[in-house]
Amino acid sequence: MRKISLFLWAALAVILVNCTSVPNVEVKKLRVEMKENPVGIDIPQPRFSWQITSGTPALEQEYYQLQVAASPEQLKEGDLIWDSGVDSTYLCVLVPYAGKPLESGKTYYWRVKVKTNQGDAVWSDVGSWTMAFLNASDWKASWIGQKEMANQGETDQGKTRLAARYLRKEFDAGKPVKNALLYISGLGSSETYLNGKRIAEDVLSPTVSLYTEKVYYNVYNVTDFLTSGKNTIGVMLGNGRYFSMRNPGMMTFGLPRLLAQLEVEYADGSKDIVSSDTSWKVTSKGPIVANNEFDGEEYDARLELGDWNKNGYDDSAWKTVDLMEAPGGKLIAQPNPNICIQERIKPVSITGRPDGKYILDMGQNMVGWLSVNLKGKKDKPIIMKFAETLQKDGSLYLANLRSANVTDIYTPARDGKFSWAPVFVYHGFRFVEIDGLDYKPELSDFTGEVIYDKMETTGTFETSNPVINQIFKNAYWGIRGNYRGMPTDCPQRDERLGWLGDRATGAYGESFVFDNALLYKKWLQDIEDSQSPEGSISDVSPNYWILYNDDVTWPSAFFYIADMIYTQYGDDSAIRKHYPAMKRWMEHMLETGMKDNLIVKDTYGDWCMPPESQELIHSQDPTRKTDGTLLSTAVFYDLLNKMACFAQLQWNYDDISVYEDLAAKMKKAYNEKFFNPETAEYANNTVTANILSLRLGLVPDGYEAKVFENIVKKTEGDFKGHVSTGVLGIQHLMRGLTENGRVDVAYKIATNDTYPSWGYMAKNGATTIWELWNGDTADPAMNSANHVMLLGDLLIWYYEDLAGIKCTPGALCYRHIDMAPVFPEGLNHVTASYQSVYGEIKSAWKRKDGKFSWDITIPGNTYATVCIPKDFGVKVTSLPGICEINEDGQFIKVEIASGTYHFGN
């Protein structure tokens, strides 16, 4: 007996030792078309991604095997629709489906087996996705709505007061329901109920588009909302951007309309379809008596409709819906996420005004709306107005909102308490004026509901410098506040449009902080949809304003963002898809805008550079302005090089040589026209002219250092270490200064709090980023407090240069990372993280009293070169995961595989 137990002990010890040494490999974060368990994919060959993790360093995938089945059980039993077989590759990003044709409306289940260099192969959990409609003929529903205008003022073309439409339909399910999918597009914006319950947290859905070209619909699995007896579907329709009807000149597509198709599968295998048709009822006599994103929502509680979205409601006073014309655009399952409430914040103060009104301060310039719990008096409206700043006397500053009315009105049906939040508007605001209360409300009566596209926050960033930290926070609020199914210029005034130039480089910087690939991919489609038949690209997309200026610098976003989606996310589909449209635009520009190998058209110049006088919006000083032909030609040259790379990706050798030849000619003409070899100045020697030439590779060999000297001289001399560029130059400034050896100048610009600088904005109360460097003093005609275009390449610099999280050029989506931070004097620590498609990358360095330490994590299946200045006195010894240690000039270069590492002295 004793012998046996000793033997058992020994056996257990062996098992324990083995357990601790067996790496804990996991396959996580299963995604289909970059989404977790998506419902509503209409791509015939969806692509799969996953991440691998383990507690042991140097994890590499050796092979994968992907399986797809019609149910989780069939997946386990091996009754498969597709088995990829063993594919010996590290690939785990966007692996395409290659099985039998997939069917509309079917849910598929998948898992992936991964064999790594650490132990046995492991299976992932089971993921799923649901197909949307793959054929136009799947649609049985008709577009419905209400043709007549019901309210006074609805026809006012300048500022519409159209009431929300309420639509309902009762239907009998009759039998136990197994599965139910709702395909729905409620234009402009909709909110949907089944049996009185909201089916999703989405707001202002579906996403915006150029409705004559594309109409996006959402798919929801609504099985849990249905009963086996009577059911009611209710939909509210707001105007959104479909029925815009407002000045100045916003495109309008028509009155709101709905397309809905509910596909019910019963437990007994039979099916039913409930679709929008003339059996539905409609009213526009409900409580939302007017709604418009720019002007506000008016809610009259006296007109509440009771249980209009539940069974048995008496809708005899409602009308039969009108059949409406289809919007014209192709119906597409929405690829990008909808908007929803992402955060709730509380106001920080409330101040009574002499006129009995109250001013609420949210403490933050935010985008969304105010949700209230107040007490009102029957028939006495409570009026809320929204603004970003206050006037000196403490009242709202509304001048910079131009014609946007930004007013929500609630009229109580009875005396007493009520709770309310609008549905079909949003505001960009920090302050709210509340009129119509006869008591002082409490701060707790209000909640700021922050809305933007549902996407993961992928980055964190913090340093020892409070100015940088505040600017990062301001950028974070500004970026998310300007995601509205398109990246908008601003969220508050009468504009709120997808201006291309604002995002050309910004989108790349934003991608460190937000998982914005799907939003931007959809926006590239808006850009293509908005392209004119001649090939001209609209400066705003969707082109709700008609602006075909044929300049280069704004349309460049089309190319740069497609490239960003490829390099940051590893997805080349946008490049491939839009390549013909890009090519059309290039040809159009060459035909209409090129003279003597220069592009001579430009509309915006170096938009919003700091002007010579504090009141101006645009500089009038010719020494500060950069020549338009220079800007257009420099950027076009860069786009030719991009096109050559895009062509290369597709093995299109003919195009490569066309673009390369033209680029060479353009470079020659550019230098002949603008470069002075004696002084190494471009044109009138603005920082923008020189930095674009330098960073875009236009400077003749051997002159780079001299051109750079001019940039530094100008910045340190004329501008005393301040920024002198507008939207164009700022896209290259921080990286340009740093990669040419003057991180000290970049750091000064980044930490200045005197005019002009991001720090100046923050010091003067900005909690987002201003449209103008002089936003506090300039004319209100074009002066928003929440624009992101002046961020330029700042966020890229934060992550790539300060934190040292940079994708090695040519290595897609962080398969290989260059970790080579710069260490500007005065900056003592940086802590940053970024969720790449492979997993989280972390970099946290600090230095104090001659001590340096650096903690790094890189995810499974990736590698990095870690670059440590030799004079930091760090000794690197070989450890598991460290592949190589090299000395290279002033640096120790450590080649690492996945894992967590600490370097220090």
Task: Give the interface with ligand BGC as residue ranges (CB under 6 A).
Answer: 489-490, 495, 499, 501-502, 604, 782, 787, 789
User: Cα separation of 51 and 170, whole Å?
Assistant: 45
Collect contacts of 441-445 with beta carbons under 8 A, ≥24 apart. 441/350, 441/358, 441/374, 442/350, 443/346, 443/347, 443/348, 443/349, 443/350, 444/346, 445/372, 445/373, 445/374
User: Cα separation of 142 and 515, whole Å?
Assistant: 35
The one-letter code for the residue type at 641 is N
What letter would DSSP give residue 531? -
Residue 393: phi and psi, rounded to 5, are: -80, 5
Q: What angle do CA 663, 666, 671 make, to 5 degrees?
A: 125
Q: Kindly tell me the burial class for residue 577, based on how many C-beta atoms sit within 10 Å of its own C-beta (0-12, 13-18, 19 or more).
A: middle
User: Cα separation of 211 and 217, whole Å?
Assistant: 11
User: Cα separation of 631 and 254, whole Å?
Assistant: 39
Beta-carbon contacts of 857 under 8 Å, excluding residues fewer than 6 positions away, are 840, 841, 842, 899, 900, 901
Beta-carbon contacts of 702 under 8 Å, excluding residues fewer than 6 positions away, are none
Contact 84, 65 (CB under 8 A): yes
Residue 343 parent element (H or E): strand 339-345
Expressed in angstroms, the distance from the first to the final Cα of the chain is: 55
What letter would DSSP give residue 243? S
DSSP strand E in 241-301: where?
257-266, 271-275, 281-283, 288-292, 296-300
* Residue keyed to tokens 């509503």: 40
Minimum separation from the CB atom of position 839 to ligand BGC (A): 35
CB count within 10 Å of CB 45 equals: 11
Exposure class string for 616-652: b at 16+ Cβ within 10 A, else e:
bebbeeeebbbbbbbbbbbbbbbbbbbbbebbeeeeb
User: Cα separation of 576 and 175, whole Å?
Assistant: 47
3-state secondary structure of 136: helix
Q: Where would I find the H helices in 482-572? A: 506-510, 517-529, 556-569
Contact 33, 43 (CB under 8 A): yes
User: Cα separation of 607 and 603, whole Å?
Assistant: 9
What letter would DSSP give residue 223? G
3-state secondary structure of 589: helix
User: Cα separation of 688 and 690, whole Å?
Assistant: 5
Pairing of strands 816-819, 851-869: parallel
Q: What is the 3-state secondary structure (H, E, C) of 8-65?
A: HHHHHHHHHHHHHHCCCCEEEEEEECCECCCEEECCCCCEEEEEEECCCCCCCEEEEE
Q: Two tokens at 461? A: 């960033």
Beta-carbon contacts of 852 under 8 Å, excluding residues fewer than 6 positions away, are 845, 846, 872, 873, 874, 903, 904, 905
Pairing of strands 127-131, 39-41: parallel
Minimum separation from the CB atom of position 229 to ligand BGC (A): 53
Contact 436, 385 (CB under 8 A): no
User: Cα separation of 527 and 555, whole Å?
Assistant: 9
Contact 291, 237 (CB under 8 A): no
